[in-house]
């Protein structure tokens, strides 16, 4: 008998998962500025559900990297 409380983890190595991440990234990179705030929040929620960084987290990381390179 299986335990219903076991957490299910995403297999991030699967080709389907990689394709999903790529497609979501393309949507975000192409359309984020045109999205409503609600749509942006939904996309952020999808990233969190997939245990991936949100748009703002990625931008913060990129900005930090750029600042480190300038020093």
pLDDT number for residue 7: 64
pLDDT number for residue 13: 74
DSSP structure class, residue 5: T
pLDDT number for residue 6: 65
pLDDT number for residue 14: 87
Residue-range domain boundaries for the chain? 36-71
- The series of mean pLDDT values per 10 residues for the chain, 71 residues long, is 56 83 93 94 95 92 89 78
pLDDT number for residue 8: 61
The backbone torsions φ and ψ at residue 53, rounded to the nearest 5 degrees and listed phi first, read: -70, 145
């Amino acid at each position: 008998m299986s335990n219903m409380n076991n957490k299910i983890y995403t297999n991030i190595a699967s080709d389907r998962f990689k394709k999903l991440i790529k497609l979501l990234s393309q949507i975000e990179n192409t359309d984020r500025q045109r999205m409503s705030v609600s749509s942006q929040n939904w996309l952020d929620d999808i990233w969190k559900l997939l245990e991936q960084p949100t748009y703002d987290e990625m931008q913060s990381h990129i900005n930090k990297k750029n600042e480190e390179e300038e020093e």
